[in-house]
Amino acid sequence: MRKVVKFGGSSLASAEQFKKAGDIVRADEKRKFVVPSAPGKRNPDDTKVTDMLYACYALAEEGKNFKAQLAAIRERYQEIVDGLGLQLSLDGEFEQIEKNFKDKAGDNYAASRGEYLNGIIMAAYLHYEFVDAAEVILFQDNGEFAAEETNTRLRERLQGVEAAVIPGFYGAYADGRVKTFSRGGSDITGSIVARAVKADVYENWTDVSGFLIADPRIIYKPETIETITYKELRELAYMGATVLHEDAIFPVRREGIPINIRNTNAPDDNGTWIVESTCQKPKYVITGIAGKKGFCSVNIDKDMMNSEIGFGRKVLQAFEENGISFEHVPSGIDTMTVFVHQDEFMHKEQQVVSGIHRLAEPDHIEIEADLALIAVVGRGMKSTRGTAGRIFSALAHSNVNVKMIDQGSSELNIIIGVANSDFETAIKAIYDIFVRIQI
């Protein structure tokens, strides 16, 4: 049995946290492959090393003196090395970084050094082999991740390797230039490694004991999700839930590898299991609630719209022509509503409106701003009657006006539109009706 373990920035922010991570790896001999992030914040007022690297490189790119900033980064790593009692020198690495910064190697290169250096330290601490992600994580010339080429290269590189550390967050183009994933991309690297080595489990260690049913900034001490499917997680991640990078699901999903979200500071907690499918009944009807503010709706009315072939295509063409993507498109017999991100839409609203008139010839168009979308997700909803009714009842009881409700054909999620000002109230009402009264 093989496990791939990924540690987030908060889990590796200091020597003390490094020791916790090391203890976790050594506690289970099946934890053979480790993917580290860059050091995160040691306290709320601290700065993540990745942000320090971005700021440092910005000075270098402007031709300004950046030695003091690079020295501060070097000091962060030296504190970890000294705290772990390692006989390890990073002098050569920092000399190379300084040279490459002067040569303007790019902000992708700069940002990747956080994981790269942490990987070297982790490998020395665990006595594992270090494998530079730039050698095995590949990107196409257009910047897209080369999934199959990476899987082949990584599998061949790790064949026969007993245990290894592969830094997260970055890879490289064919010419060797470093390319990073989006922020939080170390989660993706862990998933890629898990697929390549055909791991039995991908453990993702962070600073929370699993995935929470709702945002703890809105709900006080929300319940933890015990088991969630890939599909449910995708729905929640898309609507703003952030424990795991949403793109981290795809590499392991195709192999059926489960992900276990665990807490470095509470290693005995079971955390959350993310699986392809399960016969385990969820504790509650819903699995999770997530949402985002900052949408607006474009409501289009036209008599006999339902009998006009191509009407929907014509409407959406107006958005496409202006480079605007849509979120949801609920419709009725004579009405169609398009939900879009307000900050993207507001500067092009009149072009879109005129485009809709030109292409679809509607009777009336009305725009409503400052809306929020909330996703209520759960595999238990499919077999439970009256879920939508309970949501409506809870929102009405809390004096929340529902602007839109849309249920997917999979019956896995219900999307609710409310005013921005009702966002938090709505989430609390839904959480209370499905979770609190059930406890």
Band (407; pLDDT cuts 50, 70, 90)? confident
| 250, pLDDT greater than 60 | yes
Dihedral over Cα of 397, 400, 405, 407: its sign? negative
Across 82-195, the runs of DSSP E, i.e. the strands, are: 129-130, 164-165, 170-172, 178-180
Mean per-residue pLDDT for 49-75?
A: 96
Band (114; pLDDT cuts 50, 70, 90)? very high
User: Which H or E element spans position 326?
Assistant: strand 326-328
CA-CA distance, 23 to 204, in Å (whole number)?
15
Contact 379, 419 (CB under 8 A): no
CA neighbor of 3 nearest in space, from 35, 46, 50: 35
For 116, the 3-state DSSP assignment is helix
CA neighbor of 381 nearest in space, from 232, 180, 233: 232
CA neighbor of 84 nearest in space, from 51, 148, 39: 39
**What's the token pair of residue 385?**
């009657």
Contact 247, 233 (CB under 8 A): no
| 312, pLDDT greater than 70 | yes
User: Which H or E element spans position 413?
Assistant: strand 413-419
Q: Which ranges constitute the DSSP H helices of 166-207?
A: 186-196
Neighbours of 325 (CB within 10 A): 11
CA-CA distance, 329 to 406, in Å (whole number)?
9
CA-CA distance, 192 to 163, in Å (whole number)?
16
Q: In Å, how far are 297, 299, 366 from 361, measured between CA atoms?
A: 18, 13, 14
Cα 11–15–16 angle (5° rounding)? 70
Q: In Å, how far are 344, 359, 369, 382 from 327, measured between CA atoms?
A: 12, 21, 14, 23
| 410, pLDDT greater than 70 | no
Name the average pLDDT for the chain.
Answer: 92
User: Which H or E element spans position 297?
Assistant: strand 288-301
Say which range, 372-376, 379-383, 386-390, has the weakest mean pLDDT. 379-383
* Backbone φ/ψ region at 198: left (φ over 0), alpha (ψ -120 to 50), beta: left
61-95 CB burial, b ≥16 within 10 A, e <16? eeeeebeebbeebbebbeebbeebeeebebeeebe
Mean per-residue pLDDT for 430-436?
A: 91
Mean per-residue pLDDT for 149-162?
A: 95
pTM, 2 dp: 0.83
**What's the token pair of residue 183?**
């922020």
CA neighbor of 112 nearest in space, from 155, 33, 65, 173: 173
Note the pLDDT of residue 177.
95
| 439, pLDDT greater than 60 | no
**What's the token pair of residue 379?**
């595999």
CA-CA distance, 47 to 113, in Å (whole number)?
15
CA-CA distance, 373 to 204, in Å (whole number)?
28
Domains and their CATH numbers in the chain: 3-207 (3.40.1160.10), 288-438 (3.30.2130.10)
Q: Which tens digit of pLDDT belongs to each residue from 26-36?
A: 999 999 999 99
227-231, 382-386, 435-439: range with highest mean pLDDT? 227-231
| 242, pLDDT greater than 80 | no
Q: Count of residues for the chain?
A: 439
Residue holding tokens 């989430």? 427
Q: What is the largest CA-CA distance in the chain?
A: 77
CA neighbor of 406 nearest in space, from 350, 349, 337: 337
Of residues 281 and 62, more confidence is placed in 62
CA-CA distance, 372 to 393, in Å (whole number)?
19
Band (409; pLDDT cuts 50, 70, 90)? low
Q: Which tens digit of pLDDT belongs to each residue from 81-102?
A: 999 999 999 999 999 999 999 9
Q: Which amino acid is at 8?
A: G
CA-CA distance, 234 to 382, in Å (whole number)?
17
Helix then strand count (H, E) for the chain reads 15, 16
| 137, pLDDT greater than 80 | yes
